[in-house]
Amino acid sequence: MAKGLPKRSEDYSQWYNELVKKADLAEHSAVRGCMVIKPYGFSIWEKMQAAIDKMFKDTGHSNAYFPLFVPKSYLSREADHVEGFAKECAVVTHYRLKNADDGSGVVVDPEARLEEELVVRPTSETVIWSTYRNWIQSYRDLPILVNQWANVVRWEMRTRLFLRTAEFLWQEGHTAHATRQEAEDETMQMLDVYADFAENFMATPVIKGVKTESERFPGAIDTYCIEALMQDGKALQSGTSHFLGQNFAKAFDVRFAGKDGKEDYVWGTSWGVSTRLMGALIMAHSDDDGLVLPPKLAPIQVVIVPIFKSEEQLNSIREVADNIQSQLRDMDISVKFDDRETNSPGWKFAEYELKGVPVRLAIGPRDLEEGTVEVARRDTKEKQTKNVEGVAEYIQTILKDIQSNIYRKAHDFRTESTSSVDSYDDFKRVLDDKGGFVMAHWDGTAETEEKIKEETKATIRCIPLDFREEAGKCIYSGKDSKGRVVFARAY
Amino acid sequence: MAKGLPKRSEDYSQWYNELVKKADLAEHSAVRGCMVIKPYGFSIWEKMQAAIDKMFKDTGHSNAYFPLFVPKSYLSREADHVEGFAKECAVVTHYRLKNADDGSGVVVDPEARLEEELVVRPTSETVIWSTYRNWIQSYRDLPILVNQWANVVRWEMRTRLFLRTAEFLWQEGHTAHATRQEAEDETMQMLDVYADFAENFMATPVIKGVKTESERFPGAIDTYCIEALMQDGKALQSGTSHFLGQNFAKAFDVRFAGKDGKEDYVWGTSWGVSTRLMGALIMAHSDDDGLVLPPKLAPIQVVIVPIFKSEEQLNSIREVADNIQSQLRDMDISVKFDDRETNSPGWKFAEYELKGVPVRLAIGPRDLEEGTVEVARRDTKEKQTKNVEGVAEYIQTILKDIQSNIYRKAHDFRTESTSSVDSYDDFKRVLDDKGGFVMAHWDGTAETEEKIKEETKATIRCIPLDFREEAGKCIYSGKDSKGRVVFARAY
């Protein structure tokens, strides 16, 4: 508000764009479609990375690093894969620039043309499976449980900070197994890891499900996903886990000798989440005053703002603040004391609301007299005056409460925003009036799915894992259906 | 040896290549000049990253992320910079592939040519200073203390795993300051951070110094460096810190209003270390049996190998091992119990020597009877039989001792390998006979530097920070010199 954020109710899209910029999360760069992730935004991403990376390691995975470039011919090895990725990729054709003859700067040196063009990785299945070929001879070499944190490039025409950018940061897990069952178990395990992270760290409830054929990852047998709901009623795919079958093993001839000596192709999975999660985090919880961050992902969990007129007052406040800070740090709570004299307390209040700091303490002259401190929660905006004595324990408690309250709020919103409809008219009305997830019968064909998408912009987000058998009629074709799938308009 | 590593004395270069591969650190990929960093190698890099990142944050820096691509015209903005980097870069010219008309696969779509070519960043000064232009208006916006962890590409023609690859991983710090003094202080601070890391984590002594003009970073006023010595007597530049003056601020028009209201260009620094450090770490300490890792960077600090004939024995050993493991973990010491039955104890001994695990415990039937355990140090190969009681504390002590012993050994080697010469004949003889750092007088001209390099392959590694004034004659030209500089053949 102080910073002139549009209201969500008036222009949700503009609110998001402005919030990302004003809260110092990210900005567009001079390079088309590529973003700069600013230090504050990156510090949130680092918290996410640390939590996710720990979950990967706790489930037996190791990190590694594979090349940025994919030889053009590799993409073609898997038919669906090349169809899916060739159309939007950055192609390296030369390896040198030279001074222009007219002195106007540098130009591509035509003599430095690559024999085979290289594509900047849009995803790394091809490079990694070509490598696994050398790593795998027998069942003893399996499973391979590897992840990499990397940048990838997909030449999107319409970009949006965090949600859709030409270059983005992500992790991509690539595992290789001796049996179909093991690979399927891995696929589901990683889906569960993602759902766990979304719910317990991002405080965002998600629906777990499997994608329809037309939304499947190019080259996968099955794509599982977690789908979150944003405050404007649109869905956001927040993570995917792919069962690759033997597709990439066949494309790159990766075979292994089993215990019985028989040769077979290796079974694979891949799974990823990206800086898109930043978009989900921002849109799921924030309000018209700025970010609302779940404490577990907040770079600064507590800020202390002194209210003072004289240097003497500031010094007295600093003593109290230092004491609180050291108690909080002992509890592993991150805290910042903002004693800058260049900005007013009011400016700071607005600034830390904008930045989503979960708890704000204010200490003024009267607090000094009475041994108190004002404690404000970012999520509910509630303020309480507390005795300095015991305030650290109180903060510890409300940080936990904020984490669960944000989740509960998002969960309630999702419950309210989930509808079940039985006719196409109701379907369209619900989409236009309230949006959200719409549970509806579908005849199982790609044609119907495509028609509904064309006419309503809603897509099948997934066939939920908790799919219940229920005889019904497809809302579009009237044909038989065995149960409801999840539709929504989506990012 | 078991794994057939060549001896260092016979073929140092081959020993290095084989060690990198056999210890599962890295391998060449199908993409020319790009490497795959394997899980074990990457886990060492992660330890390095964590330690360095903490040092950056402790000195007030934050991480951020800037685009992978640099518009071609940006490179040209700084004259020296484009000279230095245009000749070896990957150039993106198109953003789409399409199916070939003859069905042979995919080809570059000629209609998807970029208006301006993009260079895959060889370093990010230009992209970052073009961004800083929008971040900086007044002295209040300064300093900016930002780092990024990223991949970069320099199209090297002759590559070597970790030491010189087309793509490598690094961190690049880019700071902006209101005064020359502040920028110079930052440059030196980060050089000290690098030296601190090299000596206290990598156990590698380094010489701090400033580069001569011809070895300077393209676009810098001064380039400072740390130089380490490898066991074959060759130097390895292990980190650089550049004082950029106002060069990039001028190239990208980054000005600020000072406290007095006057406008001036911003002062800059940049500094980086890369996966090259992995090469330094490997070459500085390892021996003919494999890696020797300093405990502070070892992914596994202690391995426990059971020696058993029956399941019953293994179970009894496991009880002892579990107890030791939990004590070690309480001390934050990483430990692995390798109870695989597929490999013999002898095979495991060789394997963990190859992988550089600092301490190996072996527990056999006789140890069970006597309540003992065999403790072997990787650095000295010493073995001791110790009572299980108190062995965790003993291990804690020897891990510290190994860390300092490895450093001392490298330091002694460097002392022995540092010579002072006063004639060109002696200079050449020392280089050929023992290599190492050669302290010699130089007349200060680029011509002499170049001649010496042509004739001997030795370069001036740096003018050491502890340069002592000492009148002398240049070993090559016989002209007056004010003191000795550090020569060496280098990686």
Tell me the pLDDT tens digit for each residue of A450-489.
Answer: 999 999 999 999 999 998 899 999 999 999 999 999 999 9
Q: How far apart are CA A182 and CA B95, in angstroms?
A: 38
Question: Which DSSP state fits A364?
Answer: -
Let me know if residue B224 belongs to a domain: yes
Q: How far apart are CA A37 and CA A279, in angstroms?
A: 12
Torsion angle of C-alpha atoms B430, B434, B437, B439, degrees rounded to 10: -20
How confident is the model over B182-208, as a mean pLDDT? 98
Q: What is the pLDDT of residues A169-192, one digit of tens each?
A: 999 999 999 999 999 999 999 999
* Contact status, residue A204 vs residue A280, Cβ threshold 8 Å: yes
Enclosing domain of residue A90: 12-285
- What does each C-alpha distance from B111 to A121, B93, B97, B102, B108 come to in angstroms? 21, 11, 10, 18, 9
A20, A79: one domain: yes
Q: Which of A409, A426, A441 is the last residue of a domain?
A: A409
Cβ separation B72–A97 shorter than 8 A: yes
Query: Of B395, B350, B398, B359, which Cα lies nearest the Cα of B378?
Result: B359
A264, A334: one domain: no
β-strands A302-306, A359-363 pairing: parallel
Band of residue B235 on the pLDDT scale cut at 50, 70, 90: very high
How confident is the model over B169-187, as a mean pLDDT? 98
Q: What is the pLDDT of residues B346-367, one digit of tens each?
A: 999 999 999 999 999 999 999 9
* Phi, psi angle pair for A80, to nearest 5°: -65, -35
Cβ separation B97–A87 shorter than 8 A: yes
Q: How far apart are CA B489 and CA B458, in angstroms?
A: 4
Q: Taking the model in full, what pTM does it have? A: 0.97
B159, B277: one domain: yes
B327, B442: one domain: no
Q: Which of A253, A285, A317 is the last residue of a domain?
A: A285
Say whether pLDDT at A3 is over 80: no
Which chain B residue has the Cα nearest residue A147?
A: B39
**Is the minimum CB–CB distance between A95 and chain B shorter than 8 Å?**
yes
**Is the minimum CB–CB distance between B253 and chain A shorter than 8 Å?**
no
Beta bridge partners of B207: B227
Say whether pLDDT at A2 is over 70: no
Beta bridge partners of A160: A164
Query: Of A264, A269, A245, which Cα lies nearest the Cα of A180?
Result: A245
Let me know if residue A214 belongs to a domain: yes
- What does each C-alpha distance from A288 to A14, A172, A378, B189 come to in angstroms? 11, 34, 12, 42
HEC letters along B21-37: HHCCCEEECCCCCCEEE
What pLDDT is attached to residue A28? Answer: 96
CATH of the domain at A444: 3.30.110.30
At B93, the amino acid letter reads T
Q: Is B222 exposed, middle or buried (0-12, 13-18, 19+ CB in 10 A)?
A: middle
Cβ separation B31–A69 shorter than 8 A: yes
Let me know if residue B369 belongs to a domain: yes
How confident is the model over B182-206, as a mean pLDDT? 98
A324, A251: one domain: no
Structure tokens at A207: 């629906």
CATH of the domain at A375: 3.40.50.800
Say whether pLDDT at B2 is over 80: no
Structure tokens at A204: 């965002």
B387, B442: one domain: no
Residue A263, number of CB atoms within 10 A of its CB = 9
A216, A327: one domain: no
- How large is the ipTM? 0.96
Cβ separation A95–B90 shorter than 8 A: yes
Q: Which of B370, B400, B430 is the last residue of a domain?
A: B400
* Contact status, residue A292 vs residue A356, Cβ threshold 8 Å: yes
* Phi, psi angle pair for A202, to nearest 5°: -80, -10
A121, A230: one domain: yes
A336, A440: one domain: no
Structure tokens at A53: 């990376």
What pLDDT is attached to residue A102? Answer: 85
Cβ separation A120–B68 shorter than 8 A: yes
Q: Is A124 left (phi over 0), alpha (psi -120 to 50) or beta?
A: alpha
CA distance A143 to chain B (A): 13
B89, B228: one domain: yes
Query: Of A308, A319, A314, A320, which Cα lies nearest the Cα of A345?
Result: A308
Structure tokens at A400: 């936990």
Let me know if residue A304 belongs to a domain: yes
Query: Of A310, A185, A106, which Cα lies nearest the Cα of B91?
Result: A106
Let me know if residue A5 belongs to a domain: no
A270, A315: one domain: no
CATH of the domain at B154: 3.30.930.10
Q: What's the structural domain count of chain B? A: 3
Task: Tell me the three state secondary structure of residue B452.
Answer: helix
Percent of chain A scored above 90 by pLDDT?
93
How confident is the model over B267-279, as a mean pLDDT? 98
Band of residue B3 on the pLDDT scale cut at 50, 70, 90: low
Let me know if residue A320 belongs to a domain: yes
How confident is the model over A386-392, as a mean pLDDT? 97
**Is the minimum CB–CB distance between B71 and chain A shorter than 8 Å?**
yes
